[in-house]
Amino acid sequence: MTPDRHALPWSWLYRPLKARRASLLVLLGMSLCATLLALAPPLLTQRLIDQGLMAGQFDKVVGYALAMVAVGLASLGLQGVIRLRHVRLSATLLLSLRRALLRHLLRLPRSRWQARGRGDLMSRLDGDLSILQGFALDSLLSGFSNALGLIGALAMIGVLNVQLMLLVALLVPLQWLWLHLWRPRLMARQQALRAHSGEVSGFWQDTLSHGQWWQGQALEAPRLNLLQALGHEQMRRLLAVRLVGYLSDLGPQLLTALARVALLLGGGYLVIEGRLQLGELVALLSYLAMVMAPIGGLIGLYGGWQRARVSAERLAELFAEPTLPSPYVGRRAPASGDIVLRKVSFAYAGQPVLFNGLDLRLGQGDKVLVEGPSGAGKSTLVALLLGLESPSSGTVEVGEVNLETLSRRAWLKQVAWVEQHPSLIRASLGDNLRLTAPGASDEQAIAALDRVGLGSWFEAQPQGLATPISDHGHSVSGGQRARLALARALLSKPRLVLLDEPTGALDPVAARAFDAVLDEALGQTTRLIISHQGEHFASLDRRYRLLDGRLDEVGA
């Protein structure tokens, strides 16, 4: 999808800037002061030479020298304050933008999460947001300072000598044209390098995520060869960036050198003729450098806008995705009552109908199994009960109240979801257990571990609840991951527990043991078990088979 460039998501970029406009104005004011201070040293140097050295007035030499020291110290102090305030404002802005995008992502329907790769989302969250934030703040301040520096330096040259100001002013459009010619080429090569860097990152993600499989298939050599090819291509693109960057900088450097020679010749002639003082010539040379330097920055502002526009278009694709209603809007969820799917039909966009008039009732304390082949829609059924998808027709009801009218956050406080691949994060054991119950005490967390049969395992951990858990829980076994997810569910004290393929990673003996743990730990809590291994579960109240969009009871 190509978004409308006139409908880019600038509003969420503007809002955090507006909220911090006072800090931004202070920073701009300080930049103005820093620019004015930067214009003072050449003028002081001119006065020191002409009114001190050339006039034989040592006291004035000392005075102007001390003034230069004072200006230098003031400039250094101001630059330090500007940098600290800039870093603070920049980091705050980036965090605000990331929060806005993450809030949007967390409200996407489940189907949209599945449609986008993790690497793609990470590149937008990290790379594109950083580029936008850099343009919104860094480029704004840089452009402001460069424009002030250019105007101020030209004005100071005009104060010293109007004819030489006109000579220098003629060089400004020449440098502008040169950079305007080469900067787009440089930007195109930088974008190509960035795109290839994404491929290299993808290579490392694939390699590290599936390292044992590559080892087990003796595929080390092909991976090394692919890395070699990627490395050579990255080097080729990097050399292209360096070459075009050199050519881009060559013109301004030559123009600056020619301008300096012309200024020395013209200014030297005027000094000899007595129409210009030596100190003024020295100051003119300093101001010349201050004229030429900002032009590259102002041209870079155009390049920054181009990069920011590309990033904005990529982010606009995400913001164009339809989202679920806010989880905080809606009625409070009833504390009791049956959970009912009534004549529910559902289909993903552009896909055949998945459910057609599906009915299901979950009463208090029921243990219900839904089994079916892969692709039948078992996980989608869980998503409907969680409120992460909405029926095409029919209703999901909680205590005779339509789920879509409830606050999703309030409803999910009553529901625990144990996934097929439990979501364990890189954190301590205690932090993982408290993800859905942050107020749970250590005693409650340990009791939950004991209830799911992990008491002995926990006692063998020397760090206790501080035991580190790796990404995705790879530091524990599949059975332990399932039980940790169940212990986390117990801490939230739910009225409904949804278990999506909870025994998928377990052997038959371990699966039946896990089912026994479910019965003992959950007691009269309502349970809906989604599985294609129905033989592992006993003491069911009802058992259904999901096939061809229908849910048929097959006995308990």
Q: For position 122, what pLDDT does the model report?
A: 72
pLDDT tens across 506-544, in order? Answer: 778 878 888 888 888 888 889 999 887 778 888 889 999
User: What mean pLDDT comes out for the span 215-238?
Assistant: 85
pLDDT at 3 over 50: no
Read off the pLDDT of residues 488-514 as tens digits, 9 standing for 90 and up.
888 888 889 998 888 776 778 878 888
Contact 71, 39 (CB under 8 A): no
Q: Does residue 170 or residue 490 have the better pLDDT?
A: 490
- In this predicted model, what pLDDT tens digit does every residue of 261-300 receive, in sequence order? 888 888 888 889 888 888 888 988 888 888 877 776 776 6
Average per-residue pLDDT for the chain: 83
Share of the chain above pLDDT 90, in %: 18
**Residue predicted with more confidence, 478 or 119:** 478
The CA–CA distances, whole Å, from 76 to 35, 90, 199 equal 12, 21, 42
Q: 503 in helix, strand or coil?
A: coil
Q: Tell me: pLDDT of 301 over 80.
A: no
298-337 residues labelled b (16+ CB within 10 A) or e (exposed): bbbbebbeebbeebbbbbbebbebeebeeeeebeebbeee
> What does the alpha-carbon distance between residue 245 and residue 249 come to, in Å, rounded to a whole number?
6
Q: Does residue 172 surpass a pLDDT of 80?
A: no
In this predicted model, what pLDDT tens digit does every residue of 82-94 receive, in sequence order? 888 888 888 888 7
* Residue 9 pLDDT > 70: no
